Amino acid sequence: MSEVTSDATEAAEQRSYWQVLRNRKLATLLAGDAISKIGDGMTFVGLPLMALALHGSVAAAVAIALVNGAPLLAPFGLSLYFGLGKRRFDPRLVLLIDSSLRAVMFFVLGALALADRLNFGLLLGLLMAGSVVKLLSASARRLAAVEMVDEDGRLAVNGLLGTSDNLALFVVGPALGGLIVALSGPDLILIANGVTYLAMLVAAALVVPRAKRSEASDVKDEVSSGWTIMRRLPVVVRLALVVFLFDMFYGPVEVALPLLVTDELDGDGAAYGAMWTAFGVGALVGALLTNQLRKYPPKVLVVAIIGGWSLCAAALGVAPNLLVAGVVLAVGGAVYGPFLAIAYTLLQSLLKTDEQQPVFALWAAGITVAFPLGLAVGGPLVTAAGPRGGILVSALVTALLVPAAWHWLMRQKSPTAPQPVR
């Protein structure tokens, strides 16, 4: 297959959110997805508190980092296996396994916590065991949802997935988690999260069709791995690199933000929480508006979002007070909100249908690695340059990515014009 561009996506009249939601199967799947993400949003509050209560001789900061990061190790390896190999997975089966595992895992953790028999090692071990299919499940959700619509509905579906991410993970979930903690402590958050995954389990069982045998069967000679497909389509590799670098360059901001709020701007923990609420609300607004951007070329939007976020990060680095910082983060969230939806829509336009699964698996693995790398760089950077300096360096490097991204994504056109979407 020769390298393809997204011209068809750029020229096509894309469907709106409401039009694709008329598909009842898609609406059911998206509802299950949103409910399960609310549960994960609750654990943003619950798991750090559990780590602080159970860390024992482990340093508190290290315990929080382990609880947040270690569960990604096992699913990272599984995504690489399917991305680098030729074997295909059944999205329905992956969703059923992941939902079941995570429901059982959180029920067990909650029961042990309520019985006062949970320790830090057990918490960490069960989180890793119950998350083994998590990244593959993220790819399966997107694949299953997109397969329910025609090509002109891809942007809307990706935008709706981004909307549920921002609403559930960063707004509703943490708010409910905070309420549960205030009323009864973090133990019940674990059980509540298990309950939310039952919604995803039911939705997948009801509306996601079984894969055809050829889609989930053993290796065949003509089947390509995700890496082979990406090497054949250099623009896909360049797009993946743009997303990877953008996510990595963001890392220092997350390291610097709590120090900026508490040290430079004289805020407290509540103020820091308010900063993330502002970002989450902005990201939700941006995700809701994603479908309004459907008339613009996705490549241009990807580059514009990177440039817009670099400006917001620069403004955050010089913010004189908490109010200005909150407003900047809200605007930054709105700018960033459509990014993954547009990037995935562009990626799908560059691939054949049977090429998407292994490439998605590799993307999930790459995105997972980018953020921890950014955090790893951000620690010494912020230590050396201070929180404002660290944020400004992040903004500068992100701004330098803009011309590189423009060159990488725009420099090569397909030798043959693709057929318009009908």
Q: What is the pLDDT of residue 416?
A: 38
Nearby residues of 202 by Cβ (< 8 Å), 6 or more positions away: 32
Residue pair 42/177 in contact by the 8 Å Cβ criterion: yes
Domains annotated for the chain, with CATH where assigned, are: 7-216+226-410 (1.20.1250.20)
Residue of 76, 412, 374 lying closest to 244 (CA atoms): 374
CA distance 363 to 370: 10
Q: What is the pLDDT of residue 216?
A: 46
The DSSP call for residue 262 is I
CA distance 400 to 309: 12
Token representation of residue 58: 């482990």
Nearby residues of 260 by Cβ (< 8 Å), 6 or more positions away: 316, 319, 325, 387, 388, 391
Q: How many CB atoms lie within 10 A of CB 233?
A: 20
DSSP characters over 170-239: IIIHHHHHHHHHHHH-THHHHHHHHHHHHHHHHHHHHHPPPPPHHHHSS--TTPPPHHHHHHH-HHHHHH
CA distance 356 to 226: 8
Token representation of residue 278: 């502002």
Q: How many CB atoms lie within 10 A of CB 115?
A: 9
Residue pair 197/36 in contact by the 8 Å Cβ criterion: yes
**Amino acid identity at 392:** L
Q: Where are the beta strands (DSSP E) in 256-329?
A: none
Q: What is the pLDDT of residue 200?
A: 95
Q: What is the mean pLDDT of each run of 10 residues along the chain (422 residues)?
A: 42 73 93 93 80 82 71 77 81 94 95 93 92 88 88 84 82 82 84 94 93 52 74 87 91 83 80 80 87 85 96 96 94 92 86 82 79 77 87 95 92 45 36
CA distance 212 to 96: 17
Token representation of residue 345: 């829509």
pTM value?
0.74
Question: Which single residue is written with the structure tokens 């921002």?
Answer: 166
Q: What are phi and psi of 176, to 5 degrees?
A: -65, -40
How large is the C-alpha radius of gyration of the chain?
Answer: 21
Residue pair 363/88 in contact by the 8 Å Cβ criterion: no
Give, for 316, the enclosing helix (H) or strand (E): helix 298-317
Token representation of residue 256: 């610097």
Q: What is the largest CA-CA distance in the chain?
A: 65
* Angle made by CA atoms 49, 316, 409, in degrees to the nearest 5: 100
Q: How many CB atoms lie within 10 A of CB 157?
A: 28
**Amino acid identity at 296:** Y
The DSSP call for residue 350 is T
Residue of 378, 361, 233, 238 lying closest to 302 (CA atoms): 238
Nearby residues of 46 by Cβ (< 8 Å), 6 or more positions away: 177, 180, 181, 186, 189, 190, 193
Token representation of residue 296: 């613009």
Residue pair 352/233 in contact by the 8 Å Cβ criterion: no
Residue pair 127/243 in contact by the 8 Å Cβ criterion: no
